[in-house]
């Protein structure tokens, strides 16, 4: 039983009315208040899974925690305004160590609050015997339209922001899977893993043109597949259009890293979105305005299948689509 089967079987019966919970099918939920909707997203990160056990920089941990949640808010086309925080800190830390750790953690939150124009509403802190666990709930607003995974329509274009696979390579380096890279490359990819950069300000404006969206947390293939499944359609993607940084393209060409891994490793925290072809110029103009890399990678098709094509039009097959939570 995978993550989505668990959600549908055990948690969907507990969910609020459909117009608020969206059948637990999207990256966030919605509460309508007068002319605005409140979009709510929550996510957790844990020591050993989302950051190394020996991580020395609580500032980066705080920023990653906030940004992965803001990525969910962005995927709905919403503008974030606040968050609540729950911290479960290890009892093994001595009091002096704990104070220093929290001070540096709060420093990261303060810096990103300014960057994304959000504020802390409240939360809870407890001491536990196990590893560090953190949970954050982010809140955003939209005036009218909310982007959902279920909005894609046949014939629309498929877009991706940013680059794919950087975070996954960084994670692999931390796990000592990729030892063939020089120090400069290692630092580049590790930073991408520790500090994702979701296109928050761009996303709240793309709602004017996009029909559906999701963020890339579990992997490009997995999250795109979630989108087309919710939209009851398929997608045809040209593999040569998928955006990678030049360093990653070189690693692929040198067969040092498999493209299968890059498309399924996850934690990119960029957007996949769809839009009518008539909005193409508007989308690229908006991307230029916000200095965001946006690439058109394919189109939505009628057949309910995710098709990845090579430059010759031959279909490629992948055994793993992305990260599995269960």
- Each residue of 56-87: pLDDT tens digit? 788 999 999 999 999 999 999 999 988 888 88
Query: Taking residues 147-175, what's their average pLDDT?
Result: 96
The mean-pLDDT minimum among 45-49, 73-77, 143-147, 263-267 falls in 45-49
Nearest-angstrom CA–CA distance, 40 and 45? 17
- By residue count, the chain amounts to 326
pLDDT at 55: 67
Q: 285 phi and psi, to 5 degrees?
A: -65, -45
pLDDT at 312: 95
Residue 153's H or E segment, with its range, is none
Residue 47's H or E segment, with its range, is none
The predicted-structure confidence for 267-321, as pLDDT tens digits, reads as follows 999 999 999 999 999 999 999 999 999 999 999 999 999 999 999 999 999 887 7
pLDDT at 264: 95
The predicted-structure confidence for 218-228, as pLDDT tens digits, reads as follows 999 999 999 99
More confident: 145 or 323: 145
The mean-pLDDT minimum among 72-86, 88-102, 246-260 falls in 88-102
DSSP lists the bridge partners of residue 273 as 159, 213
pLDDT at 260: 94
Nearest-angstrom CA–CA distance, 281 and 265? 31
More confident: 90 or 71: 71
Dihedral angle over CA of 13, 139, 41, 170, nearest 10: -170
Q: Is the pLDDT of residue 6 over 60?
A: no
pLDDT at 295: 98
Nearest-angstrom CA–CA distance, 216 and 75? 9
Q: Is the pLDDT of residue 12 over 90?
A: no
pLDDT at 117: 92
- The domains found in the chain, sorted by start residue, are 17-142 (3.30.1330.10), 149-316 (3.90.650.10)
Q: What does the block give as tokens for 192?
A: 């991408």
pLDDT at 88: 83
Mark 289-315 as b/e (b = at least 16 C-beta within 10 Å): eeebebbbbbbbbeeeebebbeeeeee
pTM of the model: 0.87
Q: Is the pLDDT of residue 325 over 80?
A: no
């Amino acid at each position: 039983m995978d993550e989505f089967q668990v959600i549908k079987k055990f948690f969907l019966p507990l969910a609020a009315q459909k117009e608020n919970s969206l059948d637990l099918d999207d990256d966030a939920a919605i509460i309508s208040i007068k002319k605005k909707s409140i979009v709510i997203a929550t996510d957790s990160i844990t020591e050993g899974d989302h950051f190394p056990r020996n991580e020395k920089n609580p500032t980066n941990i705080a920023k990653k925690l906030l940004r992965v949640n803001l990525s969910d808010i962005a995927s709905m086309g919403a503008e974030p305004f606040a968050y609540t925080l729950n911290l479960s800190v290890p009892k093994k830390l001595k009091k002096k160590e704990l104070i220093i750790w929290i001070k540096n953690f709060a420093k990261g939150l303060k810096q990103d609050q300014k960057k994304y124009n959000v504020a802390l509403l409240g939360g809870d802190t407890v001491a536990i015997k196990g590893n560090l666990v953190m949970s954050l709930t982010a809140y955003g607003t939209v005036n009218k339209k909310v982007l959902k995974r279920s909005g894609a329509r046949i014939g629309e274009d498929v877009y991706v922001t940013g680059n794919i696979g950087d975070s996954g390579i960084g994670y692999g380096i931390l796990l000592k899977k990729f030892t063939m890279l020089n120090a400069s490359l290692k630092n580049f990819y590790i930073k991408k893993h520790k500090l994702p950069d979701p296109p928050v300000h761009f996303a709240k404006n793309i709602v004017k043109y996009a029909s559906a969206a999701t963020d890339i947390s579990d992997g490009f293939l997995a999250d795109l597949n979630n989108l087309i499944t919710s939209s009851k359609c398929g997608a045809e993607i040209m593999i040569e259009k998928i955006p990678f940084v030049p360093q990653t393209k070189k690693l692929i060409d040198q067969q040092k890293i498999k493209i299968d891994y890059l498309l399924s490793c996850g934690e990119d925290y960029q957007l996949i979105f769809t839009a009518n072809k008539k909005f193409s110029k508007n989308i690229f103009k908006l991307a230029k305005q916000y200095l965001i890399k946006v690439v058109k990678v394919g189109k939505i098709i009628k057949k309910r299948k995710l098709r990845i094509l090579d430059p010759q039009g031959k279909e490629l097959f992948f055994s793993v689509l992305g990260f599995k939570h269960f």
